[in-house]
Amino acid sequence: MEPLFGVVLGLILAVASPANDSCTCATNKWAVCAQDGPGNCTCRLAGSDHPLDCSTLTAKCFLMKAEMSPPKEKRLWRPPQGVSDSDGIYNPDCEDSGAFKARQCNQSSSCWCVNTAGVRRTERAGRSLNCSELVRTRWIYIELTHGRSPRAFRAPDVAKALTRLFESRYKLNPKYIAAIRYEPPLIQIRLHQNKKPRWDVDIADVAYYFEKDVNNDSVFRSNSKLSVSVNGDVLVIEKLWIYYVDEKPPEFSMRQLAAGIGAVVTVVLLTAAIGITVLLVLRWLRTRTYKKFECKEMREIKATSLE
């Protein structure tokens, strides 16, 4: 009876093992998945109780919250106490849909308004700050440079390869890629999305996934390194810049702008003052040298006449 029981148990484990292995989230390595029924796999993100749709990208707000959550396994995470008053990663407040809440605050009761990409668009203030709406980021400009290649790339080939990458890896509909310009080694990608239908990915999420890939910190479960091929040659991305343009201009006060202009004016005035001082000193030295030479010459003339 015992050998028969062992065989049956082994068969059960063998059948259950592949099911457990298949219960993963391909688009998010931070997802925690569990088999909660026959053929039913539910994945949730650390720091959030909301179930994930692993057939598409995870909302950027949920991703940032997961990055700020304490570790639950042996993996490198950003510590919660590492939050600082900067425009980098922070622990955001998210809507149930995964969208950022219009107002974000940190542990020191400092609050600010953000756009749909989670980027700050106002000065920091207290908790009395009112953010009436979540302003949409409708343009995203991506600039990158690439390394040397055995052969020169053609602009149409680069555009085709990047369009294929954004469509296949990030599920972005090509209609949201407004333009791709290439002037070696600079590549400029312009994404445009006035409104996001429920079935399409958000360009802000695409930009975040792409940034993670370029920085070798992929969000995908496979953690595969980003590889872009242009006619068989690898396009090695070296530097990346991302700019966000909202449908409404940012609301930074003139006081901050005036402070910035004042700093620039101060630097210009100091530079001019130093330049004028240097010129005056050089002129004084040149005049002094000329007078010394003139006096010496006069003494020599007098000495010659006396002889």
Residues 6+ away with beta carbon under 8 Å from 173: 167, 200
pLDDT of residue 99 exceeding 70, the answer is yes
Distance, in Å, from the CA atom of 208 to the CA atom of 134, rounded to the nearest integer, reads: 18
Amino acid at 138: R
Confidence of residue 83 (pLDDT cuts 50, 70, 90): very low
**CA-CA-CA-CA dihedral for 144, 147, 153, 157, to nearest 10:** -40
Residue holding tokens 């598409």? 56
Please compute the mean of the pLDDT values over residues 29-39 and round it to a whole number: 84
pLDDT of residue 176 exceeding 80, the answer is yes
135, 248 contact by CB (below 8 A): yes
List the chain domain ranges. 137-246
pLDDT of residue 283: 78
More confident residue, 202 or 286: 202
Average pLDDT, the chain: 80
Please compute the mean of the pLDDT values over residues 299-304 and round it to a whole number: 59
pLDDT of residue 303: 59
pLDDT tens digits for range 37-66 = 777 898 988 767 778 899 999 999 999 888
Domain 137-246 belongs to what topology? Alpha-Beta Plaits (3.30.70)
pLDDT of residue 286: 74
Distance, in Å, from the CA atom of 239 to the CA atom of 187, rounded to the nearest integer, reads: 10
pLDDT of residue 228: 92
pLDDT of residue 301: 59
CA-to-CA dists, residue 29 to 5, 54, 65, 209, 272, angstroms: 37, 10, 14, 12, 55
pLDDT of residue 24 exceeding 70, the answer is yes
85-99, 149-163, 172-186, 262-276: which has the minimum mean pLDDT? 262-276
pLDDT of residue 50: 79
Q: At what angle do helices 60-67 and 203-214 cross, to 10 degrees?
A: 40
CA-to-CA dists, residue 206 to 60, 172, 200, 226, 252, angstroms: 9, 7, 11, 14, 27
69-73, 96-100, 138-142, 295-299: which has the minimum mean pLDDT? 69-73
Residue holding tokens 């259950």? 16
- pTM for the predicted model, two decimal places: 0.71
pLDDT of residue 78 exceeding 50, the answer is no
Residues 6+ away with beta carbon under 8 Å from 106: 83, 85, 90, 91
292 C-beta neighbours (distance < 10 Å), count:
10
Distance, in Å, from the CA atom of 245 to the CA atom of 239, rounded to the nearest integer, reads: 20
pLDDT of residue 260 exceeding 60, the answer is no
Nearest-CA neighbor of 137 among 244, 16, 19? 244
Distance, in Å, from the CA atom of 80 to the CA atom of 70, rounded to the nearest integer, reads: 7
More confident residue, 271 or 90: 90
